[in-house]
Amino acid sequence: MTVALPVLLAAVAYAARRARTAGLPRWWLPPLAAAVAMAVVPALVGPLQAALARPAPPGALAGETGFYPSGHAATAAVAYGAAALLLLPWAAAPAARRLLITAALVLALATGPGLVVRGYHWPLDVLASWALSVALLTVLYGAVHGVRRRHGTQGVPGR
């Protein structure tokens, strides 16, 4: 979280500034939608962990519960994924777009195995978080790109 959240904050600020400077209608919606998606993560994960009360892996925190789904894996996936979605309209070159998507995927996917190897989560905890993250990012993508299509722009003047 100490890395993923600042990355998302920087992407939110950059995308908001670029869109506002470009004079895009509802320039504030994509950054706001990304922030809301990030805020939804603990709002969903916390109650799910409390309700399911899954025990920790052996040796992690004996007797503790609330490990399914992984909040850390979900935070990383949504933060890096939302940052990539916000920055994609501003990456003009196809190579830059591929690099942005690849970096987001590598960072998000590297978090999960690290949590499992260190004994903080079961593999299923991480997989559930990734599934939750895909759902949130799909909604974010639909909200952001649906608004752009309704307003006759793909997000960047001249595209």
The CA-atom distances, in angstroms, between 4 and each of 37, 73, 86, 117, 128 are: 14, 10, 14, 20, 19
pTM: 0.86
Which residue has 């892996």 as its token pair? 57
Give phi and psi for 65, each to the nearest 5: -130, 175
Task: Report how far residue 68's alpha carbon sits from residue 45's, in angstroms, rounded to the nearest whole number.
Answer: 8
- Render each residue's pLDDT in the chain as its tens digit; 159 residues: 789 999 999 999 999 999 999 998 889 999 999 999 999 999 999 999 888 888 878 766 655 666 788 899 999 999 999 999 999 988 989 999 999 999 999 999 999 999 888 888 889 999 999 999 999 999 999 887 765 555 555 545 444
Partnered with residue 47 across adjacent β-strands are none
Contact 15, 90 (CB under 8 A): yes
CA distance 76 to 20: 27
Compute CA distances 34 → 23, 40, 58, 117, 137, whole Å: 20, 10, 35, 30, 9
